[in-house]
Amino acid sequence: MGVDRIGHAFAEQGLLAQALTHRSAGAPHNERLEFLGDSVVNLLVAEALFQRWPKADEGALTRARAELVREAALAVIARQLDLGARLTMGPGEMKSGGHRRDSILADALEAVVAAIYLDAGFEACRAVVLPWFEESLAALPVGRPEKDAKTRLQEWLQARQRPLPLYELVSESGDDHAKQFQVRCSIQDPPLTAEGEGTSRRIAEQAAAAAVIEKLDPSK
């Protein structure tokens, strides 16, 4: 089931068990593996982008990597691998739906990557893990990943020496595993406000910034 989806037959099953153990279940849990896996994932994705986009500059590569390794993107892969169903968690975390939470799923994915790396080495880890990112890599605009909305809005205002935008949390609703955030973005010159929604405050802020950009300059 899970091992088949992961695509690696572990020589040391204890590594996989630890990678799928949340700290709420006690030691040994996956936080140390998560620390290592974060760096391995960043290296694998950076290497893939570097090889695929020979003409892209550092800024484009950095933005593309950030898009591919962000929490929500890693959680999508974790769900495709069905990691949530295999997590070992404390009763409180399980009851609150922790096995569905983006942050816990993303951490577990990074821990699994580290477990594969420790079990079989870098080459084997690359062979197993890179295909997980293939769909996301293929979906990126080659060499020119767009800057996110908050960055574009900030740069637009800075270029005109105008005050930076303000972001205000309007509301927060839903259970821990299915929260919904509403954020208001305001700028002073010209005076504009817009609101955005999302499953995290960061996503809601991006949506609000994009809505302000639409009002400010639809061509952006």
Check whether 155 is labelled as a binding-site residue.
Answer: no
195 noted as active-site residue: no
Residue 163 near residue 174, CB atoms below 8 Å: no
**Residue (of 67, 204, 209, 220) closest to 149 by Cα position:** 209
Question: Does 47 show up as a binding residue in the annotation?
Answer: no
Helix orientation angle between 31-52 and 122-129, rounded to the nearest 10 degrees: 70
Q: Is 38 a catalytic residue?
A: yes
Which residue in 47, 67, 102, 110 is the catalytic one?
A: 110
**Which amino acid makes up residue 14?**
G
User: Is residue 107 annotated as involved in ligand binding?
Assistant: yes
Distances (CA, A) of 145 to 49, 58, 62: 11, 12, 9
Which is catalytic among the residues 38, 93, 119, 205? 38
Q: Which residues are annotated as a binding site?
A: 34, 107, 110
Q: Which residues are catalytic?
A: 38, 110
Q: Which residues are annotated as a binding site for Mg(2+)?
A: 34, 107, 110
